Amino acid sequence: MDLVIGPLDLSAHVDEALAVQAVAFGLGPDEVAVRRQIVLRHMTHPGARALGATTAGRLVGFVYGMPNDRTHWWSTVVEPYLRAGGHEAWLDDSFVITELHVHPVYQNRGVGRRLITTLTDSATEPRSILSAIDIDSPARGLYHSLGYVDLARQVHFPSAPRPYAVMGAPLPLRRRGH
């Protein structure tokens, strides 16, 4: 597969990225409109970075993240859950994976693994954290195989219908076969 992983100007390509997320994750038009504003705001945060997976000029996957900031909404929601389990230190010097999505047609070919590994390889932080819907999903399977462990389960984000798990991994992420 002629697929290129490289830096993505997510602000300029937000609609293409959300089109991928809409089919991968299942978002309706109203949710896409809300996410659009959130993504554009996230891209103004210091250290926010995105990578895209492109084939024949078409975006088929993307990842983005940023250094954790305890004042960010996501961090304030997960903080009490991490504190309750003695994992609060994961919020400091940590690179947050905010979104990772691969178009269903291109899934299970190592694209998601390449995206998240390449993005975190360029992070200066010694660890990474993220949240994922708290079910046995391909996303959770991928994160576990990269060395992410559960730091909190059944985390409720206001407005999200399903609970999330918060996961953390040391950087660099674990390679295949280790």
Ligand X SMILES: CC(C)(COP(=O)(O)OP(=O)(O)OC[C@H]1O[C@@H](n2cnc3c(N)ncnc32)[C@H](O)[C@@H]1OP(=O)(O)O)[C@@H](O)C(=O)NCCC(=O)NCCS
Contact positions vs ligand X (CB under 6 A): 24-25, 100-102, 107-113, 132, 137-139, 141-142, 145
Q: Which residue is nearest to ligand X (CB)?
A: 141
**Beta strand segments in 32-148, E:** 49-55, 58-67, 94-102, 127-133
The smaller minimum CB distance to ligand X, of residues 91 and 148, is found at 148
Tokens 């992410």 sit at which residue?
Answer: 148
CB-based contacts of 108, cutoff 8 Å, min separation 6: 138
CA dihedral 158→164→170→172, nearest 10 degrees, is -90
Report in angstroms how near the CB of residue 144 gets to ligand X at its nearest: 7
Compare residues 91 and 96 and give the one whose CB is closer to ligand X: 96
Least distance in Å: CB of 103 to ligand X? 8
Q: Which is nearer to ligand X, 21 or 48 (CB)?
A: 21
| Minimum separation from the CB atom of position 5 to ligand X (A) | 11
With a CB cutoff of 8 Å and minimum separation 6, the contacts of 9 are 50
Closer to ligand X by CB, 94 or 124: give it: 94
CB of 64 to ligand X, least distance (A): 12
Q: Nearest Cα to 102, choosing from 112, 94, 115? A: 112
- 26/158 with CB nearer ligand X: 26
Of 152, 102, 147, 110, nearest to 128 by C-alpha is 147
In the complex, what is the shortest distance from the CB of residue 129 to ligand X, in angstroms, rounded to a whole number? Answer: 12
Q: How far apart are CA 105 and CA 45, in angstroms?
A: 31
